[in-house]
Structure 1
Amino acid sequence: MPGPLPPAPEPTAFGTIRSRLPSGRELAYVREGAGGFPLLLVHGWPETKRLWWKVIAPLAAAGFEVIAPDLRGFGESDADLDGFHDLAAHARDLHALVHDVLGHERCAVAGGDLGGGIIQDLGLRFDGFVLRQVLFNCVMPILTEAYAAAGLASEPHPVVRQAADYFVRQGRDADALAAELTTGEQRRRYVAQFYGSRLWGTPGGFTRADVDFMTEPFASAAHLRASFGNYESATDARPLSEKPHWFAVSDVPTLALYGPDDHVMYPDWPERCEVAFTDLTGPFVVRRAGHFLPWERPELFTGAVVSYLRDLLPRR
Structure 2
Amino acid sequence: MTDVSIVTGAGVFDATVAGPTEGRPVLLLHGFPQTRLVWRRQIAALAAHGYRVAAPDQRGYSPGTRPQRPEDYRVDRLVDDVVAITEKLGWAAFDLVGHDWGGAVAWWTAHAHPGRVRTLTVVSTPHPGALATTLRADRDQRARSRYMIDWRETPATEERMLAHDAQVLRALYAGKVPRDSTEAYVRHLSRPGALTAALNWHRAGRPDGAIGVIDVPTLYVWSTEDSAFGPAAARETGQWVKGPYRFETLQGVSHWVPEEAPETLSGLLLEHLRTHGWQKPRRMPRASTLRSPKR
Q: Displacement of 1:155 after TM fit?
A: 3.6
Q: Which runs of 5+ in 1 are unaligned?
A: 1-13, 197-203
The answer for the alignment partner of 1:87 in structure 2 is 75
Q: Does 1:206 align with 2:188?
A: no
In 2, Cα distance between equivalents of 1:292 and 1:138: 11
- How do 1:49-60 and structure 2 match up within 5 A? 49-60=36-47
Q: Choose the corresponding residue for 1:251, options 193, 215, 223.
A: 215
Q: Which runs of 5+ in 2 are unaligned?
A: 281-295
Once the two structures are superposed, the pairs formed by residues 30-109 of structure 1 within 5 Å of their partners are 30-33=16-19, 34-82=21-69, 84-99=72-87, 101-109=88-96
| Identity of matched residues, % | 21
1:107 CA drift (Å): 0.2
Matched, 1:169 2:150: yes
- Give the conservation status (yes or no) of the 8 Å contact 1:261–1:288: yes
Contact 2:12 2:62 in 1 (8 A): no
Match of 1:10 in 2: none
TM-score, scaled relative to structure 1: 0.79
- The answer to whether residue 14 in structure 2 is matched with residue 28 in structure 1 is yes
Q: Which amino acid aligns with 2:13?
A: L
Count of equivalent residues: 276
* 1:91-112 deviation per Cα after TM superposition (whole angstroms, max 9, x unaligned): 101111112x111100001112
Give, as a single letter, the amino acid of the residue that structure 2 aligns with 1:26: V
Q: Which structure 1 residue ranges, 4+ long, deviate > 6 Å from structure 2?
A: none
1:110 and 2:97 correspond: yes
How far did 1:119 drift? 1.2
Q: Which residue of 2 aligns with 1:4?
A: none
The CA distance in 2 between the partners of 1:293 and 1:164, in whole Å, is: 19
Listed as ranges, the matches of 1:138-287 within 5 Å are 138-142=125-129, 154-158=136-140, 160-171=141-152, 173-180=153-160, 186=165, 188-196=166-174, 205-234=176-205, 243-244=208-209, 246-287=210-251
Distance 1:262 1:180 in 2: 23
Instruction: Please state how far the C-alpha of 1:77 moved relative to its aligned partner.
Output: 4.7
Cα pair 2:31 2:101 within 8 Å, conserved: yes
Shift of 1:270: 3.0
Q: With the length of structure 2 as denominator, give the TM-score of the two structures.
A: 0.84
Q: More deviation in 23-32 or 288-297?
A: 288-297
Structure 1 position 298, deviation (Å): 1.1
- Deviation track 1:38-93 (CA, whole Å, cap 9, x = no partner) reads 10001111111011011111111111111101111015553231461021111101
What is the CA-CA distance between 1:219 and the residue it aligns to?
1.2
Kept in 1: contact 2:47–2:53 (CA 8 A):
yes
Contact 2:10 2:81 in 1 (8 A): no
The correspondence for 1:305, drawn from 269, 277, 293, is: 269
